[in-house]
Every structure is written in C-alpha cells, then in structure tokens.
Amino acid sequence: MATWRRLEDDARRLSALYGFQPIETPLFEDSAVFERGIGEVTDIIEKELFRVRSPGSADDRWALRPEATAGVARAYVQHGMQTLPQPVRLTTFGPMFRYDRPQAGRFRQFWQWNVEAIGDPGPAIDAEIVELAYRYVSGVGVANVEVHLNTIGDSACRPAFIAALAEYLGKYEAELPELERRRLATSPLRVLDSKDPRVAEALAEAPLLSDFLCAACRDHFDSLLAHLEALQISVVRAPRLVRGLDYYTRTAFELYQRGAEGQQSALGGGGRYDGLLELFGARPTPAIGFALGIDRIAAAAEPNSGVAGWHPVAVVVGADPAATDLRLRLATDLRAAGVAVTGDLAPRRLARQLEGAARDGAHFAIVVGDELDEGQVQLRDLEAGTQRPVNVDDLARELQRAHASHRHGDANERSEAPPNA
Ligand code: HAM
C-alpha cells in the first residue's frame, strides 16, 4: 500500500501540474459505449467484456468498463464539453475490468491512470502526452523505461494498407488459427495483435503501414518525432505496433521496461483517436491520451518501505485502567482541535497502554492522572523517553508544535500533504 499510495499521489500531482481535471465515469455503462468505442472485433469486446444483466431480465445491456477512454468520450459529448475552451484535459484513476485467464501482470480487476486531451489536433500535444507518461513511469522508479512509438495512419491512408495486409495474409489463410481467419475477413488490422506464434511467423514479411502513409500523417509523425527530440525523450520505433483498440489514428505508443517487451508486459499505452468523439455524436474532434497500468508499474517500481497507514500523533493513556471515558473524551476533544490521536480504550494497566502507543507508531503519549483536577496532563515523548506537564487548554497547540519538530518523513506525512502539493 505504501508503494500504491505513492503511485496514486504522483499521478494526481502530475495531473494537476499538467492541467488535467479529474473526471469520474461510472464503473459500468451501457455496453454499446464500449462496443462502439473500442470496436466490436477486438479481444476486449469479443472475449474480455464483463457483461452485466439487470435483475429479472435476460438482457445484458450493461458492462463493467474495460477501459476509461470510451466512457470519457461519452461524457464529453453528453455534458456538452465541446463548448469549453479546447483542449479539455481530463484524468481519472481507478479500476477497470477485463475477463481473461489471470496471470502475472494480467488481472480481471486492475487499475489505470488515464489521461485524455480532447480537442487538439497535435502534433505538439502528442509529444506532451508521451513525455508525461514517460516522466511518470520513470519518476516512480521503474528503471530503463522505453517508449515504443508508431503511427497507424488515418481514414485517408489506412484502407490501402489494410487491403494490402489482407491480400498478403490471404496467402497464409490455411495456416492461421480460427480466430485470426475470422478477423482476416472482418478486421485484418486486428490480426497484428495476435499473440499466437503461428501468426507472428506468417507476419514476418507483411507490408508495413509506414509505406502507405499519406502526406498529412507522415508530416504529423515527423513533427512529433522532432518535438520529442526537443524534449529529449528518446523513442523506439515500432512499425508493427497497432494497439488492441479500434479507435486509434496516427500516433500510437506503449511503454515497456527494457528487456520485458511483449504483449503481456506493457506498462501503459495510448495514442490519438481523432474519430472517436464523432462516434458519440460530436462534430469532428481530435483527441489523444494514455492509460498506464498501475498494477504492473507497482510491480516494476521501486518499492516504498514502511507502512502506508494512519499513525496517531499521540495516544491518550491513563493511570486508572477503568477511566476509559476520560481517555475517550480527551481524544475526541483533541481530534476536534485537528490533532490525529487515539485514546486507549482498553481497561488495562498503564504500562500496557504505553506499549500499545509505541506499537501504533505514535510519537507521544498523553498520560491522564490525578493532575487532571488541576487541568494538567503529562506529555510523554515516546522516542526520547522524556515527560513534562502540559495544561489541557494548551495541549492541542503543544502537540502540533512538538509533532512538527519531530516529523520523521514517513508515508503518513505524505498523505497529509495537500493534494496539489
Ligand atoms: P490498453 O493498452 O488496453 O489501453 O491498456 C493500458 C494499460 O493497462 C496496459 O498497457 C496495461 O499496463 C494495463 N492493463 C490492461 N489490461 C490489464 C490487465 N488485464 N491486468 C493488468 N493491467 C492491464 C487502454 O486502455 C486505452 N484506453 C488507453 C488510452 C487512453 N488510449 C487513449 N487514451
């Protein structure tokens, strides 16, 4: 959880730094949102969508979201964000669901940090988006991050490539597995996503999209490369990278840890989707974004030591084991004054209460005894082993002051920092 907390905090910090506004889309939506957005003939829709049936109905018209982009695009159109200054920059961090055989790095519920910039044709913003993804993944301590980059053309030039690919693959039809044979007929580009080694063999000499690019797509890609160079982001050109979702146009990229490239190990991916918003009824609206796989990044990132949890600044303990109400009340008053404390509510001896306070990671114990009649308690520094009397009226202020000078910089402090810090 300490590592996870840091990954989430970093995503929110960078989102704010780059001007992305938070958005939350529902965890389940009308399945048409996903089918239309991601494409009917994709693994995600054909094999991995968790469909949801309403009670008492045979109609499974809902689905758990397998990714965020389709829902964000739907929300952009539904809530009239076209009237806002463009691009609209949106971000979301949360769970996604895909049905697959669970294995290392592949889960049925997994988390993505998702970033979308809607309404800018690029190519400068493409570079900004790639740079943000790279900065995040390398910044959380993943060593040797590589950006694999390709352009996959647009509706002007891709059809000729698809026709050439289909013609080429036609020669290997008999050798292709059943699913790929079906895809060859319906969506030949998807054959390029296949994980089957027989397909990889058949694809060895297949035509490359880069040989079919129109002038506009080529210019876009060349400018993107120049912008990335200016930002000192080096990329690996990946001419066969097409991504597994149908909505992409032009820019497509994935992030890997060097030496762990391959379908199952992408730490994240994204690209441009200039046609998607129109599918939801918008006027033509260019867009680009990415999603990073937080589970995979957590496994590859530098782990955080320590426990990401709540540690009290102080625990209220007392000499009289039976006086739990006193400890409870003082703890409640201190919380009302904004100090993170617990009261020891077990009727046990003072020595045991103090052991408990140290185990909870508190810096201080507040020892309540007879002096309370004179408005005083003992403030005990559990690390130093020292103790001094403090007036109850000054206690909250005194604790805050003493705590500030005792910080040890653990994960708890990080969580107390303001979200934009
Ligand atoms: P995606 O490539 O399907 O893209 O997923 C992005 C990342 O999510 C993957 O690279 C991987 O790290 C993680 N991921 C995917 N499936 C799983 C799984 N079953 N278990 C663990 N991690 C997984 C998208 O989702 C697009 N919406 C990205 C995007 C946003 N494109 C434009 N905007």
Question: Among residues of the chain, what percentage have pLDDT more than 70?
Answer: 95
Instruction: Provide mean pLDDT across the span 234-254.
Output: 93
Q: What are phi and psi of 190, to 5 degrees?
A: -70, -20
Long-range Cβ contacts of 35-40 (<8 Å, 24+ apart):
36/70, 36/279, 36/280, 37/69, 37/70, 37/73, 37/74, 37/247, 37/276, 37/279, 37/280, 38/66, 38/67, 38/70, 38/245, 38/246, 38/247, 39/187, 39/245, 39/246, 39/247
Q: Which helix (H) or strand (E) holds 97?
A: strand 88-97
Q: Quick one: pLDDT at residue 392?
A: 95
Nearest residue (by CA) to ligand 1, atom 14, is 293
State the amino acid at position 274 in one-letter form.
D
Smallest CA separation from ligand 1 atom 25, residue? 67
270 lines ligand 1 (CB under 6 A): yes
Helix (H) / strand (E) element for 400: namely helix 395-404
Instruction: Give the SS3 label for residue 88.
Output: strand
pTM > 0.85: yes
* pLDDT reading at 197 higher than 60: yes
Determine if ligand 1 sits within 6 Å of the CB of residue 403: no
Q: Which residue has the higher pLDDT, 411 or 280?
A: 280
Query: Ligand 1 pocket test: which of 64, 113, 245 has the largest number of ligand atoms within 8 Å of its C-beta?
Result: 245
Q: What is the per-residue pLDDT across 78-104, written as a single tens digit (0 to 9) for each?
A: 999 999 999 999 999 999 999 988 888
Q: What is the pLDDT of residue 411?
A: 39
Which letter does DSSP use for residue 48 in this model? S
DSSP 106: B
Q: Angle at the Cα of 93 (from 91 to 98), degrees rounded to 5? A: 115
Burial degree of 289 (CB within 10 A; 0-12, 13-18, 19+): buried
pLDDT in tens, 24-41: 999 999 999 999 999 988
Q: What is the mean pLDDT of the chain?
A: 91
The predicted-structure confidence for 207-235, as pLDDT tens digits, reads as follows 999 999 999 999 999 999 999 999 999 99
Q: Does any ligand 1 atom lie closer than 6 A to the CB of residue 267?
A: yes
Question: Is the Cβ atom of 106 under 6 angstroms away from ligand 1?
Answer: yes
Structure confidence at residue 202 (pLDDT): 84
Confidence (pLDDT) at 305: 67
Strand order in the sheet with 28-30: 28-30, 62-64, 51-52
Q: Is the CB of 65 under 6 A from ligand 1?
A: no
Q: How far apart are the first and last CA of the chain?
A: 20
How far apart (Å, rounded) are the C-alpha atoms in residues 378 and 383? 15
The CB of 271 under 6 Å from ligand 1? The reply is yes
Q: Which of 95, 210, 227 is nearest to 161 (CA)?
A: 210
Query: Do the strands 235-237 and 145-151 form a parallel or antiparallel pair, or are they unpaired?
Result: parallel
Mean pLDDT of 173-190: 88
Runs of H (alpha helix) within 22-157 = 31-38, 43-46, 69-78, 124-139
How far are the Cα atoms of 64, 274, 349 from residue 56, in angstroms, in the given order? 19, 39, 58
Q: Which atom of ligand 1 is nearest to the CA of 98?
A: 19
Name the DSSP class of 86.
S
Neighbours of 106 (CB within 10 A): 16
| Nearest atom, ligand 1, residue 68 CA | 27
Query: Ligand 1 within 6 A of 67 CB?
Result: yes
Residue 254 alpha carbon to ligand 1 centre in Å: 10
Using the predicted structure, report yes or no on whether residue 295 has a pLDDT greater than 50: yes
Asked if residue 377 lies in contact with residue 389, where contact means CB atoms within 8 angstroms, the answer is yes
Q: Is any ligand 1 atom within 6 A of the Cβ of residue 192?
A: no
Instruction: Tell whether ligand 1 has an atom less than 6 A from the beta carbon of residue 118.
Output: no
Q: Which atom of ligand 1 is nearest to the CA of 272?
A: 32
Q: How far is the CA of 256 from the centre of ligand 1 (A)?
A: 12
Res. 413: pLDDT tops 60 = no
Does ligand 1 lie within 6 Å of residue 165's CB atom? no
DSSP assignment string, 130-151: HHHHHHHHHHTT-SSEEEEEEE
Structure-token match 């991050």, residue found: 145
- The answer to whether the CB of 290 is under 6 A from ligand 1 is yes
